[in-house]
Structure 1
Amino acid sequence: MKNLHTISFKLALVLFVSTLIFAGCKEKKPVQTQTQTQTQTKGDSQATAKETFLFTALPDVVAKVNGIDIQKSKLENVYKVIASQAQMANQVKSEKELVDMALNELINSELLKQETDRQKITAPKEAVEKQLEMIKSQFPDVETFEKAILEKGFSVEQLRGNIEDQLALKEMYSKEIESKITISDKMIEDFYNGNPQFFNKPGSVKASHILIKMDNWDDKAKVEEGRKKIEAIQAKVKKGDDFSELAKTSSEGPSAPNGGDLGFFSKGQMVKSFEDAAFALKVGEVSDIVQSNFGFHIIKVFDKKEGGVTALKDASKDIKPYLSNLEGNKLMNEYVGKLRSTATVEKLI
């Protein structure tokens, strides 16, 4: 089932510290061409310069929550996370919208922290140390870890304190919110019946192809040359030569190094002539020569998955946590709203 994914407010807060500390430090980046590197560096530099200019004009204290200062440095960190999330989700947000979102997240987080303090909710020391060790394990050694958190504006003790706050918040979420979430079988069934688009599984095929590219169909000599090439390859396929090896040595498509493997794809993902030919084949069959706007193809189907509707009993394992997250977000927003209604909040930007 697709598109039933959400991150609860609780989870966002619990993961917040870790995100700030080692986001981008864990992955090994693929080797890039010089052009890619120059383009990315230019884009990153422009984005960083823009953010730096934006925050330079702001006061050091951007808000007060019941007399407690919220520092500009924290706002800048949260802004970067939210801006990155918006970009990945293809959401167009203005700088003002992103700053407002970041500031509200910080205000809500501070209100919740103050409430955990008021209720004397604390995190077990063992859990704090385990979380700290987990973060450390993302780095090759202690020196690299300490350098990374210093660059983010933290000391180890500050990080430990932040982890304590987040785990205490998790405890409070369990007590005040999670305990009140009830998802009935009827709610699951109603969602299932009301959202059939999530549970229709399209049929798919796993295919490989050999491509002879054609950039200009008006060039008759080139078209004839390409046709002769694909016909020669077709003769080898019919003779029994290995399809994957032929794709590696003869195909002009980007999948050639992988033996022409395109993986599984559903209808609507490929150009129509290619799609029609692929879905008409049985497993193990090879197509005749297929013409598309990309060129000449020979297609072999290696596997097929029939389409259908996911049964309610199978879908429920995804629906229940999804509905739980929605209900948790709703209850948390109401809870924070009550805290905010009795708090003294001053926005200074």
Structure 2
Amino acid sequence: MRKGLTFLQGAALAAFMALPLPAMAAPHANTVIATVNGEDITLGHMIMARESLPDQYKQLPDDVLYNAILDQLIQQTALKQQLHGGMPHYVRLSVENEERALLAANVIENVMKSASDEDALRKAYEDKYSEGDGGDEFRAAHILVESEADALEIKEELDAGADFDILAKERSTGPSGPNGGDLGWFSRGRMVPEFEEAVLDLRAGEISAPVETQFGWHLILLNERRKTAAPSFEDVRAELSQELQNAAVEAHVSDLTAAAVIDRPEIDDLDPAILNDLSLVRN
């Protein structure tokens, strides 16, 4: 071999070795981690498998969890290949339900994100606290009894001049009874709607007519009402965001179902208890 050619080949190799090596592609969701009889298990499969784990398992060391998830996916893949592409009916139904739920959750997530951007949050804050205060707080007491008849009887005694504190201690069945029915200070939204509506109609020192709630019958004494200072924007950011997101999701779902063509045919002899019969989908 001629020396000149040998020199050129050596120079070319040296020049190639001096070039920077191309960067290896970073792992991505479609990176194949393992194959089982030609079927791929990707990094994406592993990420989603980890996401579905209970929180206590996510606390395991990363390497331990990585190997455990990969082993599980390999074993599951080998096992499901025994069906040779078939899918039992109950499994197909479960997959369809899971797909439906995940896609619906994705839409809800997008609605929530668009509903609570910075401008929307600032506007919600201004609308809610435009008067410079945080709304009303109330200090009230109540007497809770089981029947309307009992409540009316006690109301007559109160109208005749009986002491509310004493009657609450003697007659109220609620946990606040021993304290004269005192509920302390509370703001709007803290009490059940029927109770709150009665409080809003009272002036300080007034006692309500009997009010029925899920807990029984109440006689409510409003002791005092006051204005609270408006919170800072940052203090209520999370609360406002949640309110905007909930309202947006509720409106979006309502609009979608109102516009959808929904048919719910009447089915004769359909007992709701039939949902307990798993044999219908496993046979």
Q: TM-score range by the shorter chain?
A: 0.3 to 0.5
Give the TM-score, by structure 2 length: 0.37
Q: Which has the higher helix share?
A: 1
| More relative contact order, 1 or 2 (CA 8 Å, 6+ apart) | 1
Give the TM-score, by structure 1 length: 0.31
